[in-house]
Amino acid sequence: MPQTSKSSIKSNTNEKPAKKKAETVSVAERVARMGLINDWDFVLHLPLRYEDETRITRICDLKAGDWAQIQGTVISSRTQGGRFMQLIASVSDGTANIEIRFLHFYPKMRERFKSGTLLRLSGQVQQQPVQFGGGLQMLHPKIKDPITDTSELPSTLTPVYPAGEHITQTWLRKRIDRAMLDVDLTDIVPASFTQSLSLPTLRDALKSLHHPSPGADYEAYSERRTPEWRRLKFDELLAQQLTLRYAREVKSELQAPRLLGTHGNLREKLTASLPFSLTGAQKRVLVEIYTDLAQNAPMNRLVQGDVGCGKTIVAALSALQAVDSGYQAALMAPTEILAEQHYLKLKPLLEPLGVKVVLLTGSLRTKEKVLRQDMVASGQSQVVIGTHALIQDAVKFHKLGLAIVDEQHRFGVEQRLKLRNAVQEGTLPHLLMLSATPIPRTLAMSYLADIDVSVIDELPPGRTPIVTTLISMDRTAEVTSAVQRAVSSGSQVYWVCPLIEDSEKSDLTAATLRRDALQQELPGCRVALVHGAMSAEEKQSIMNAFSSGEVDILVATTVIEVGVDVPNASVMIIEHAERFGLSQLHQLRGRVGRGSKKSFCLLLYAPNLSEVGKERLSVIRSSTDGFEIARQDLRLRGPGEFMGAKQSGAPLLRFADLDTDVELLDAARQAAQTWLTTDPKSALQHARRWFAGSGNFLQA
């Protein structure tokens, strides 16, 4: 790849700054909060939707949910209410009547709605509540008057832009039009990339999106499927791919120790001692990891796999590759419970091989913490397991060769980098990230272009299928009876609640109240409570009691989402399941089905569940495929929330849709690789145009 300055993508854009305007400071501050700083920001501030004011819809043809423009005569109007008056009018066009309602209005609006006045109204059509008649209404429509029967209609669609407080559409349109004149709209993107996709020039695309031509297809523009929209989506995806791939190029020039694992064959010894055989998928992923660790460029690999696929043993064998090469390995987990679970699982596996394992968490007493930090600094401990405590300034590694981050999406990018950036002798440790939340293919293609992804797509034999059932919260008494039967048959039960304690601001049943209720209703059952606000000693004591069978029912918050492995637990109850994400529900469900008993997951939901809530729970009931569930979770939640991208530093997408724009994403990936090789200067200019104001992505 031709050389260019590694800081070039971070520098300020060379585009001409927005011209000064006689505008109040408050307006400038408001648009700045919207991310509108320079002319390019305004040019790329594309319409949120369009309004079709080019035609009149007959009132008899209106449907709830439509945006429409009508023209009719006021039949009657009135005000009603006490302290807060409403203005209500009935308007007819001869085909039907519709009610117009203003919840707040100026006194002079009564004059505009005098009986017999001809008005043109546009807005969202809504279905009235039954108590108000159940007919159609427009709430706070836009009003055009005075008009006549021959008043001309606009010839083109009207763009509606995202706007902040006190920023009007009129002001935005004028400011965007001025920016369009001031910015050089010459294409940077090579024509060979866009012509193969039959896309228009950038100038033509932007002009058309801000000012659709007469006769433009309203539905195509509104659904963002015109060639002009596709051009902007492609440019956005291309900028994202360039940014991430360039970050990969930068990282590849850094140095890392070559971990060849030639000292004591620790990997082979551990594999031979395991009471089970590795799956084919585990073996394949380990080969990919070992190959990376043997290079002198830092590994940057994500291992993703469904619940129970065996990521922990993959992490252990990877750590032994570092130890067998004379280096330390560190494993960072997001919670103390998970860190402690890893420690209790790995210590008996590794220490018989002569590998010293130490646990570092924030709740340790000062004297003990200092002792363990000294063991890490002196190299007495070869494998260090912990939480955020691993990245405190007081922790100094002797010779860190591999950093492992479990549940990587639950850490911010700065936290991951602080563990990664333990530079010693001019080298960086290799980075291995683990995630039990399978990432859909399109999301991986889009957000992980600078990361190698390995997939463990095979579960160990013997996992028991889990039966998932949806039950309304008003049938909780039946669930309690089922729990008693399960405990009587020798099973253990998880009961997960979304809150720790009662809150007047929430209707969710608190975990503490659920524990108390179960103790009262099931006096023969041993019930315990665990939650994140407990001390590490308290949590571990309760988890140990549950693991050893001293507790029948464990009431918990989501601290048990990952890492907990109790084969005798065969029932998972999740209260107010509609409040959890799909992937989180799948993770919780994966805590059962780890033994030979038939296992069940009962999802308790609020009786007044919304349609979206019903759709989400239907997904988790009908599928046990983590990748399909993750795909649906992405569709329902969006990429930013799914990936934690708003915290991770990953460039967010404003226009492209990963569910429908796979073809454009594929083309953008190929184009980015070609462009960075042939003309990196122009490629990075395009990336800056899109993302210069959104943060530094080289480190993400």
Residue 692: pLDDT band (50, 70, 90) is low
Q: Is pLDDT of 467 > 60?
A: yes
Q: What is the pLDDT of residue 11?
A: 40
In this predicted structure, what is the pLDDT of residue 644?
Answer: 57
* For residue 8, pLDDT beyond 50: no
pLDDT of 18 > 70? The answer is: no
Q: Long-range contacts made by residues 364-368, C-beta under 8 angstroms, separation at least 24?
A: 364/389, 364/536
Same domain? 472 vs 562 = yes
Q: Are strands 553-556 and 492-496 parallel, antiparallel or unpaired?
A: parallel
d(CA 397, CA 377): 5
Q: Which of 47, 347, 341 is nearest to 169 (CA)?
A: 47
* CATH (domain of 545): 3.40.50.300
pLDDT band at 504 (very low <50, low <70, confident <90, very high): very low
Are 117 and 209 part of one and the same domain? no
- How much is the average pLDDT of 177-200? 94
In a domain, 38, yes or no: yes
What pLDDT does residue 425 have? 57
Mean pLDDT of 315-343: 90
Answer whether residue 695 shows pLDDT above 50.
no
Residue 544 and residue 486 share a domain: yes
pLDDT at 228 over 70: yes
Q: Are residues 61 and 41 in the same domain?
A: no
Report yes or no on 250 lying in a domain. no
CB-based contacts of 42, cutoff 8 Å, min separation 6: 18, 36, 175, 176, 178, 179
Residue where one domain finishes, among candidates 575, 590, 623: 623
694 occurs within a structural domain: no
Region 570-579: mean pLDDT is 91
- Cβ(573)–Cβ(599) under 8 Å? no
* Nearest by Cα to 74 from 120, 107, 28: 120
Least confident span in 227-241, 364-378, 491-505 = 491-505
- Type of residue found at 168: T
* 582-589 helix and 626-637 helix, angle to the nearest 10 degrees: 150
Does one domain contain both 78 and 218? no
pLDDT at 521: 94
Mean per-residue pLDDT, 210-222: 92
**Predicted confidence (pLDDT) at residue 197 exceeds the cutoff of 90:** yes
Same domain assignment for residues 475 and 559: yes
Bond preceding residue 651 cis, omega within 30 of 0: no
For 400-416, how does the pLDDT look when each residue is reduced to its tens digit (9 = 90+)?
999 998 875 554 445 55
594 in a structural domain: yes
For 99-121, the DSSP string reads EEEESS--TTHHHHT-TT-EEEE
DSSP 260-299: ---SS-HHHHHHHH-SSPPPHHHHHHHHHHHHHHTSSSPP
Q: Are 415 and 244 in contact (CB under 8 A)?
A: no
Average pLDDT score over residue span 306-316: 87
Q: Do 610 and 471 lie in a common domain?
A: yes
What string of DSSP letters covers 229-256? Answer: HHHHHHHHHHHHHHHHHHHHHHHHTS--
Q: Is 548 part of a structural domain of the chain?
A: yes
Alpha-carbon distance 324 to 240, whole Å?
39
pLDDT tens, position by position, 115-172:
999 999 999 999 887 767 788 999 999 998 777 766 788 889 999 998 877 888 999 9
Tell me, yes or no, whether 325 lies in a domain.
no
Q: For residue 402, is it within any domain?
A: no
289: pLDDT strictly greater than 90: yes
Is the per-residue pLDDT at 436 higher than 70? yes
Overall domain count for the chain: 3
How would DSSP label each residue in 3-40? ---TTGGGSPP-SPPPPP-S--HHHHHHHHHTT--SHH
Which residues form the domain of 193?
A: 8-49+158-222
Q: Which residue has the higher pLDDT, 88 or 696?
A: 88
Q: What is the pLDDT of residue 561?
A: 53
Q: Is residue 14 part of a domain?
A: yes
Q: What is the pLDDT of residues 640-664, one digit of tens each?
A: 555 555 545 455 678 988 778 889 9
CA-closest candidate to residue 244, choices 694, 656, 669: 669
The pLDDT of residue 22 is above 90? no
**What's at 459, amino acid-wise?**
L
- Which candidate, 344, 304, 180, places its Cα nearest to that of 642? 304
Considering the domain architecture, whether residues 104 and 215 belong to the same structural domain is answered as no
Tokens 């980098």 found at: 417
Q: Are residues 128 and 162 in the same domain?
A: no
Taking residues 209-217, report their average pLDDT.
93
Same domain, 94 and 173: no
More confident call, 291 vs 165: 291
Decide: helix, strand or coil at residue 465: coil
CATH code of 113's domain: 2.40.50.140
Structure tokens at 344: 């209790």
Tell me the average pLDDT across 680-688: 92
pTM of the model: 0.65
Tell me how far apart the 2 most distant CA atoms of the chain are, in Å. 95
- Alpha-carbon distances, residue 597 vs 95, 395, 466, 497, 573 (angstroms): 66, 44, 10, 24, 16
Per-residue pLDDT reduced to its tens digit, 92-107? 999 999 999 998 888 8
- Residue linked to tokens 């440019």: 235
- Among residues 574, 594, 623, which one ends one of the domains? 623
Which of 134 and 603 is assigned the larger pLDDT?
A: 603
Which of 81-85, 111-115, 273-277, 428-432 is the least confident region? 81-85
Q: What is the pLDDT of residue 422?
A: 53
| Residues 216, 131 share a domain | no
- Which H or E element spans position 432? strand 430-435
Name all contacts of 538-544 with Cβ < 8 Å and 24+ positions apart: 539/336, 539/337, 539/340, 540/337, 540/340, 543/337, 543/340, 543/341
For residue 674, is pLDDT > 70? yes
- The answer on 593 and 499 residing in a single domain is yes
Last residue of a domain, one of 602, 623, 644: 623
Amino acid at 671: A
